[in-house]
Structure 1
């Protein structure tokens, strides 16, 4: 597998530093706490946490920062870390519940990895909305990160000097490029609001690599400021609007590499120009007679895909549509049909259709609702639906516009069709 071997690194001995383990654990715990505390999710600031941060509750006047996790929350947090790092293989997972600080959790995970528990498990949402575990081989992850190290070194004609992470590192894409890659390179990582501020103000320098996703790149493209020479970007988690990529190119961001992949597979392909097909990563091989699977050369097993692929030749392809009916909202897979089915269970709703907005309308979901009571005022029903969505759906799943009518939109052939967005019905974007 030429081009897939590590060059300049010892693959077998490579390991995440304790500082990077801390960053990954912080991201995992923040994500879990936001699920456990949806009403106060905006108050969770993992950027303030360090190795001294307490997991247990502390008095309000304590100087030490605390997650203030009660016994049930601590169990959920320990389970999240145990699952991600596959700690059950080491037999050390029970110690998480005994330890009190993030630094102690980091030391425990580091010890487990020294004992050989190295593979990781990422999670993605399935069609039922339940997290789906996606185990990944550690050596395959390291090899993929090094492959892209070589790609960006070639494109920038210099080594990467710094990484600005606009994607969280608990998901496979963010982990590969804002945890694993900088650890390989031994370069600093800037995360969160500080990274976004530096990118928006173009306070960047040659050798910077910016890790983003389509929604965030669209926000960045709206600025008229130019990027300094020698800065590169990556986008993944879903299709990026070609007009956004073109605008970023005009502002001087070149290369901007699109990566196609999933939590189940890791990276599958990459390209620099939107009109080009994706180039298959060296780990993968096309399967003769199948456009919905690839052969993993590392495990010698076929891997089912979420999309069908349209092959141009043995190493180049275009994605040709999802098989699971998911759409992307701000880098998250959501399932409009499942959301519509949930809304149909409400007594106020006779029928409903949920779709992704068009690129001109926005990046969120919209809903067309047939009220159960035609006499109910639209404003009252809209408020009821918004309140239900706020309580029962995740942020990316919540429709941001509700349109009402006596029948669902359809075309002249009677098939379901799109409908124009009533901008006055938009709810505030979160």
Structure 2
């Protein structure tokens, strides 16, 4: 039996990543404004005035009572502390290190499984429970995968992805534990990359936005570097450009928070190969677990090439209800993007605080700068061409479609202004 277990350093890294992400939402901050790159086991979670006296070298997050409750909920859900009945103790402890110790105790009492939250890029974020044994089995597979097809043994992990998402958790938490390798996390990871301090045997964990930035910057790679990409499709031209810049190998991992890893490939011209956990389901968009048999419905349509190889063919239409009637936002998006005045568009249901109708984000063509005229035109076009439930009731305009730091298309507020791509430093903590 594989006895892979989380150590305190790994648990601390996950907690810091979780809380930094939550703090950004609660306080409307950017990543670098959280100051999480300075957090450690001695960091105080609450307000200094409500805890012990702050020593000169200590740092306090300064969470108020509501933020503290939100933090505790995130940690309790992620590590399934509810299964051990210890969740209330989170509010009794003052430092991140004490929370780490509590997670260790909870895991010893049976809270083994891990719950990941979806990014919300395809609707309302949901909690996805993953069995610990399944995560360990996938990690063991990739440990062999990266050891069997490389002339240079892996020496260290360069983690450019947050470790509280399932992709980052498997490859920057579990994999280095399995291989007993050091991990360099952001912001040091990106600094090493930009300062040309990468070395043979480095395994880089990133996502399409980061790879696109490194491709644009012309970053050179020494021999013996392998990279992994996931979370969204990576443009094959970017992969080829990075290889021209010296990258030895780019491994693409296809999966989701609901399923963990599904397939892998090392050549963008080839199909994905199913991981050992999975087999083809009864339909083109379903998978079945080999051992237990239950089928999972995927958000993507797959083109199967035999029983063990496939190609994703884009997301399936997702239905939302407006006034009790089924509506397909993707179809409305396609219609808007056919207009000569529109370079790109996204349509989705308003948030609960915004309303119960559709909203649209529009990227105008470069020569169309009169926003008020364009908005009036779009409302008039929708009145003529869409049914009442299909018509977006709020238009937001920007330079690019909104996307999160993992490169996936994301939600936006109808009060948002101009949208721009996040800085490559945005992912760093």
Superposition TM-score tier, normalisation by shorter sequence:
0.7 to 0.9
The match for 1:270 is: 264
How far the C-alpha of 1:241 sits from its partner, in A, is 0.8
How far the C-alpha of 1:428 sits from its partner, in A, is 4.6
Asked if residue 316 in structure 1 is aligned to residue 326 in structure 2, the reply is no
Q: In 2, are the aligned partners of 1:212 and 1:234 still within 8 Å (CA)?
A: yes
Q: In 2, are the aligned partners of 1:307 and 1:323 still within 8 Å (CA)?
A: yes
SS of the equivalent of 1:67 reads: strand
Find 1:354's aligned residue among 351, 355, 361.
Answer: 361
1:221-300 → structure 2 map (5 Å cutoff)? 221-288=215-282, 290-300=283-293
Distance 2:36 2:132 in 1: 26
Q: Could you tell which deviates more after superposition, 169-178 or 293-302?
A: 293-302
Distance 1:355 1:276, change over 3 A: farther
Distance 1:351 1:284 in 2: 37
Distance 1:239 1:367, change over 3 A: farther
Asked if residue 155 in structure 1 is aligned to residue 160 in structure 2, the reply is no
Distance 1:318 1:23, change over 3 A: same
Find 1:93's aligned residue among 87, 90, 112.
Answer: 87
Asked if residue 33 in structure 1 is aligned to residue 23 in structure 2, the reply is yes
Asked if residue 337 in structure 1 is aligned to residue 347 in structure 2, the reply is yes
SS of the equivalent of 1:337 reads: strand
The match for 2:194 is: 200
Find 2:295's aligned residue among 288, 295, 302.
Answer: 302
How far the C-alpha of 1:303 sits from its partner, in A, is 1.1
Kindly report the root-mean-square deviation, in angstroms, between the aligned alpha carbons of the 2 structures. Answer: 3.6
Q: In 2, are the aligned partners of 1:351 and 1:369 still within 8 Å (CA)?
A: no
How far the C-alpha of 1:36 sits from its partner, in A, is 0.6
Distance 1:129 1:62, change over 3 A: farther
Q: In 1, are the aligned partners of 2:205 and 2:227 still within 8 Å (CA)?
A: yes
Distance 1:357 1:136, change over 3 A: farther
Distance 2:373 2:236 in 1: 28
SS of the equivalent of 1:156 reads: coil
Distance 1:368 1:162, change over 3 A: farther
Structure 1: unaligned runs, 5 residues or longer: 1-9, 328-334, 375-383, 401-424
1:139-178 → structure 2 map (5 Å cutoff)? 139-178=133-172
Asked if residue 57 in structure 1 is aligned to residue 47 in structure 2, the reply is yes
How far the C-alpha of 1:130 sits from its partner, in A, is 2.8
Distance 1:257 1:135 in 2: 25
The match for 2:12 is: 22
Distance 1:236 1:394 in 2: 14
Q: In 1, are the aligned partners of 2:299 and 2:315 still within 8 Å (CA)?
A: yes
Q: Deviations over 1:27-50 (max 9, x none)?
A: 111111111111465410222111
Distance 1:369 1:304, change over 3 A: farther
How far the C-alpha of 1:249 sits from its partner, in A, is 1.2
Q: In 2, are the aligned partners of 1:123 and 1:171 still within 8 Å (CA)?
A: yes
Distance 2:411 2:258 in 1: 25
Distance 2:176 2:121 in 1: 33
Q: In 1, are the aligned partners of 2:12 and 2:41 still within 8 Å (CA)?
A: yes
How far the C-alpha of 1:153 sits from its partner, in A, is 1.2
Distance 1:282 1:174, change over 3 A: same
Distance 1:111 1:67 in 2: 24
Q: Deviations over 1:125-164 (max 9, x none)?
A: 4578432011001111111112111111122234321001
Q: In 2, are the aligned partners of 1:260 and 1:267 still within 8 Å (CA)?
A: yes
Distance 1:427 1:267, change over 3 A: closer
Q: Could you tell which deviates more after superposition, 313-322 or 217-226?
A: 217-226
TM-score, reference length from structure 2: 0.77
How far the C-alpha of 1:189 sits from its partner, in A, is 0.8
SS of the equivalent of 2:75 reads: helix
The match for 2:336 is: none
User: Greater RCO between the two (CA within 8 Å, min separation 6)?
Assistant: 2
Distance 1:33 1:155, change over 3 A: same
SS of the equivalent of 2:196 reads: coil
The match for 2:66 is: 72
Distance 1:222 1:394, change over 3 A: closer
Distance 1:119 1:367, change over 3 A: farther
